[in-house]
Amino acid sequence: MPPTDSGLSSSSDDTLELQLPPGFGALCGDGHRQPASLDGPAAGPLLDNLAGWGAADTPAGPFALVPIRPARDLDRITGWMNDPAVAAFWELAGPPETTAAHLRSQLDGDGRSVPCLGVLAGVPMSYWEIYRADLDPLARHYPARPQDTGLHLLLGAGYRGRGLGGTLLRATADLVLDHRPSCTRVVAEPDLRNTASVAAFLSAGFRYADELELPVKRAALMVRDRAHRHLL
């Protein structure tokens, strides 16, 4: 279980300039589709071909999950991990090799966890991990159900404190439920100390289900149920 949290705790010190890199737009096609031809974990069956999910419409613009390519994305993600507000929860501050090892542990796996950039209106502005919670060590700590899908989120500094966390969490949970018909719920386990993160999940239609004592933190178990998705 990666030592991650939602990175929503700070709204100041915006030091990151998030610009669309050359050629990045091709990954999102018309802004609503991603190429389904990407190989590797993102195109695998454990997460129902995440690479082909496309984008969700949000009040802030179209939002897409673009599977990570280290050669393109490592410097950007390393910068985010070295933001003190992020490092306090993710504990991955350090040289690019630290971030690369964290990404590689997923990219070299069987597809049960897929690291992604979150691209909002054409701009890469967040880091996500979409993972099979029922196949993760997290399942030892709560009554997991088959096909439970988990989320980890990190927002770039300039995108915090604007209410985007809840908007994007809702959009991503909807992408999961729309494209994973066998998944009945989306789960997350933010650190209880990160009250901004817990609040963002609540605003996104997740319910506070339990408190979990995990090896690296005391966490809130947040759940968004398919059966209640249109009610919350």
Convert the pLDDT of each residue in 18-30 to its tens digit.
Answer: 333 334 444 444 4
CB within 8 Å of 83: residues ≥ 6 apart: 7, 10, 15, 16, 157
Residue pair 200/169 in contact (Cβ under 8 Å)? The answer is yes
Between 196 and 12, where is the model more confident?
196
Low-confidence winner among 8-12, 48-52, 72-76 (lowest mean pLDDT): 8-12
What pLDDT was estimated at residue 43? 87
DSSP H/E element including 94: none
b vs e for 19-51, b when ≥16 Cβ sit within 10 Å of the residue's Cβ? eeeeebeebbeebeebeeebeebbbbebbbbbb
pLDDT digits (tens, 9 = 90+) for 215-231: 999 999 999 999 999 98
What pLDDT was estimated at residue 22? 39
pTM of the predicted model as reported, rounded to 2 decimal places = 0.85
The string of DSSP codes covering 130-163 is: EEEGGGSGGGGTTT--TT-EEEEEEE-GGGSSSS
Residue 8 pLDDT level (bands cut at 50, 70, 90): low
- Crossing angle of helices 195-203/164-179, nearest 10°? 50
Residue 77: name the closest of 145, 155, 144 by CA: 155
DSSP H/E element including 85: helix 84-90
Q: Is the confidence at residue 38, as pLDDT, over 80?
A: no
pLDDT digits (tens, 9 = 90+) for 153-189: 999 999 998 899 999 999 999 999 999 999 999 999 9
Residue 214 pLDDT level (bands cut at 50, 70, 90): very high
Q: What is the mean pLDDT of residues 6-11?
A: 49
Q: What's the 3-state SS for 181-215?
A: CCCCEEEECCECCCHHHHHHHHHCCCEEEEEEECC
Between 91 and 18, where is the model more confident?
91
- Crossing angle of helices 96-107/70-81, nearest 10°? 120
Phi, psi of 211 (to 5 degrees): -110, 135
Between 50 and 14, where is the model more confident?
50
Low-confidence winner among 1-5, 70-74, 186-190 (lowest mean pLDDT): 1-5
% of the chain with per-residue pLDDT over 90? 78
What pLDDT was estimated at residue 7? 61
